[in-house]
């Protein structure tokens, strides 16, 4: 068991090193200008080893971009799909700041933003995520029809908007602590809107009016 654990740690270290080297090269020279052979050489691994961890060049950047929201819904237990998703993203807002590599995250965003091919890959990943979420919701909801697809589209758009706001704050120098705090507040707002729609905003207006 100890040897198996050591092997897994070494594999994860190799995987992380390859990804970090790839991002650094792509950031310095541009995604299209760097070959897989150059990444493998710079990371000190054979090309076949690189492909054992990352099946394609774009996966060096996009691996992990897609979030498995369908699995969150499928594993929700007694909770509703929205409750399970809210709790998942609420925890993200509260996670220890030491768990996030801000520089690595910003480098990934720069590399993706500068490459039409990678932007298309992100879009494709989001489309796949939405489709899988719709299937998971169809299993969870008694009303099939178009409802699961409509809900999946709204949830995916809300999550993407939350992530974009979080990344934008980090890129403009907002501290990770403050960006995380604001993300936590906006997760609650996003899921309140998903659950109750514009009635959430109308309720806020009434509360503010009552306080005047």
CATH class of the region 2-59: mainly alpha
Structure-block tokens of residue 177? 């602590």
Q: What letters, b where the CB count within 10 A reaches 16 and e where it falls short, cover 2-29?
A: eeeeeeeeeeeebeeebbebbbbbbbee
Give the whole-angstrom CA distance, residue 122 versus residue 64.
10
Give the pLDDT confidence score for residue 212 in this predicted structure. 47
Give the whole-angstrom CA distance, residue 188 versus residue 112.
28
111-159 residue pLDDT tens: 999 999 999 999 998 899 999 999 999 998 876 789 999 999 999 999 9
Q: What is the pTM of this model?
A: 0.81
Categorize the per-residue pLDDT at 44 as very low, low, confident or very high, splitting at 50, 70 and 90. Answer: very high
Q: Are 84 and 91 in contact (CB under 8 A)?
A: no
């Amino acid at each position: 068991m100890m040897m198996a654990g050591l092997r897994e740690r070494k594999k994860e270290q190799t995987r992380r090193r390859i990804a970090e080297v790839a991002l650094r090269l792509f950031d310095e020279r541009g995604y299209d200008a760097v070959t897989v052979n150059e990444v493998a050489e710079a990371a000190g691994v054979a090309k076949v080893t690189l492909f054992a961890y990352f099946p394609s060049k774009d996966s060096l950047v996009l691996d992990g971009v897609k979030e498995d929201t369908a699995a969150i819904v499928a594993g929700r237990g007694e909770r509703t799909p929205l409750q399970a998703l809210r709790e998942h993203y609420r925890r993200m807002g509260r996670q220890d700041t030491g768990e996030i590599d801000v520089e690595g995250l910003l480098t990934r965003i720069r590399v993706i933003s500068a490459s039409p091919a990678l932007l298309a890959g992100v879009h494709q990943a989001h489309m796949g995520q939405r489709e899988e979420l719709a299937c998971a919701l169809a299993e969870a909801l008694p009303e099939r029809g178009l409802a699961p697809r409509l809900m999946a589209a709204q949830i995916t758009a809300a999550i993407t908007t939350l992530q974009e706001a979080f990344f934008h704050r980090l890129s403009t120098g907002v501290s990770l602590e403050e960006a995380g705090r604001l993300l936590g507040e906006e997760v609650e707002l996003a899921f309140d809107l998903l659950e109750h729609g514009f009635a959430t905003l109308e309720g806020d207006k009434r509360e503010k009016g009552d306080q005047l």
